[in-house]
Amino acid sequence: MRLLAETLPRLRFTRAQAVDPGGAFAGRVRELWLEVGFGSGEHTLAQAAAHPWAGIIGCEVFENGLCSLLSRLVPEGGEATAPLPGNLRLWTDDARVLLRALPAAALDRLFLLFPDPWPKARHAKRRFVHPALLPDLARVLRPGAEWRIATDDPTYQGWVAEVLADQPFFTAPPPAATRPDLWPPTRYEAKARTAGRAICYWSLTRRDG
């Protein structure tokens, strides 16, 4: 597919660029934001368009999601030539690999919206919200940085509440039941609401130290 062969390389964020992530973008950026598992890309693209001064790295390992985002950016026939957002880059490997490659305090904002809940107990270790991953997240998020989490899955909601209840890294107020202002909607969120599923929205803040 031409989107993957011609457009994706123009936006790909590489392991080498993680050493100096701000230098990966076409222009100067004031902040660095990361979205883990962007799905169809609606939220990532909305944030990139609304905040041109923020460098946004979107993480997605599934080709369907990558193609969905890329097809929103370029018309058919323009895969190799159509202009692309200078403040957007894409990481197509495991997000945990990127976290460990980024410098300390590199991120100003992190998004984890409607992740795979991995509902079976034996799969819990695969969840991105996990006690073992919190130190890596704390290292890469600067003090005062925001981490936004949203999920409609009751198992994951309970898991997030449990993980956040006893950790020293983030201030974690109770989740909101309605999407806060300045959170662009997603296709998956609309489907969840249509199905009558309750959604929890967390806004965490990285503590000092």
DSSP 112-126: EES-----SGGGGGG
**What are the beta bridge partners of residue 170?**
206
For residues 111 and 46, give the distance between their C-alpha atoms in angstroms, rounded to a whole number: 13
Q: Which of 83, 84, 22, 14 is nearest to 55 (CA)?
A: 22
Beta strands at 141-151 and 200-206: parallel, antiparallel or unpaired: antiparallel
- Give the residue-averaged pLDDT of 10-31: 95
Query: Which one-letter amino acid corresponds to residue 71?
Result: S
**CATH at 70:** 3.40.50.150
pLDDT at 123: 56
pLDDT at 53: 96
Rounded distance, CA 158 to CA 141, Å? 24
Residue in 189, 201, 187, 152 with CA at minimum distance from that of residue 65: 187
Q: Are 111 and 36 in contact (CB under 8 A)?
A: yes
Angle of helix 63-73 versus helix 42-50 axis, rounded to 10: 40
Q: What is the pLDDT of residue 127?
A: 81
Whole-angstrom distance, CA of residue 183 vs CA of residue 150:
10
Ranges of beta strands (E only) in the chain are 31-36, 54-59, 88-91, 107-113, 141-151, 170-171, 200-206
d(C-alpha 33, C-alpha 141), whole Å: 10
Instruction: Extract the tokens encoding 16.
Output: 């080498």
Is it the case that residue 119 has pLDDT exceeding 80? no
> Which tens digits make up the pLDDT trace of 1-13?
899 999 999 999 9
The catalytic residue positions are 116
Q: What percent of the chain has pLDDT over 90?
A: 84
Please say if the pLDDT value at position 58 is more than 80: yes
Q: What is the mean pLDDT of residues 176-195?
A: 90
Q: Which domain holds residue 33?
A: 2-206
For residue 120, what pLDDT is reported? 59
pLDDT band at 121 (very low <50, low <70, confident <90, very high): low
Given a cut of 70, whether residue 124 has pLDDT beyond it is no
Interatomic CA distance for residues 43 and 51, integer angstroms? 12
- And the tokens for 106? 């590199």
Distance (Å) of CA 168 to CA 86, 105, 132, 172: 36, 16, 13, 10
Mean of all residue pLDDT scores within the chain: 93
Average pLDDT over residues 45-58: 96
Domains held by the chain: number: 1
